[in-house]
Amino acid sequence: MRMRHRTTRTQRVGIRRVGGPLKTVLDKTKSWYDVSLELFCSCCAANDAWPNSKEELDHAACQFLMHCWQDGKTRAMGAN
């Protein structure tokens, strides 16, 4: 079995500096983000709970994650 080589945070920072700044998000990734955002907004609308502060956003995100879990959505849906 081959062990995966782990890098330190400092090594990852150095590697990313060489590659330059992140310029774009892949279309496939953007579409996943859009689906997740739409689902989050639908959840907020259904609960009539649009967040107006950091605390309310945190609560709305928790409600959204609970909705995803109860609805059988993937972890990635909530993570996006």
pLDDT digits (tens, 9 = 90+) for 45-66: 888 878 899 999 898 888 888 8
Query: What are the Cα distances from residue 46, in Å, to 17, 18, 40, 50?
Result: 43, 45, 10, 10
Question: Which pLDDT score is estimated for 73?
Answer: 82
Q: How far from each other are the two terminal CA atoms of the chain, in whole angstroms? A: 32
Instruction: Give residue-wise pLDDT tens across range 1-59.
Output: 566 678 888 888 888 888 777 777 788 888 888 988 898 888 888 888 788 999 998 98
| Mean pLDDT, rounded, for 73-79 | 77
pTM of this structure:
0.57
How is the chain split into domains, by residue range? 23-79
Beta-carbon contacts of residue 67 (< 8 Å; ≥ 6 apart): 43, 73
Give CA angle at 20 (16, 26), nearest 5°: 90
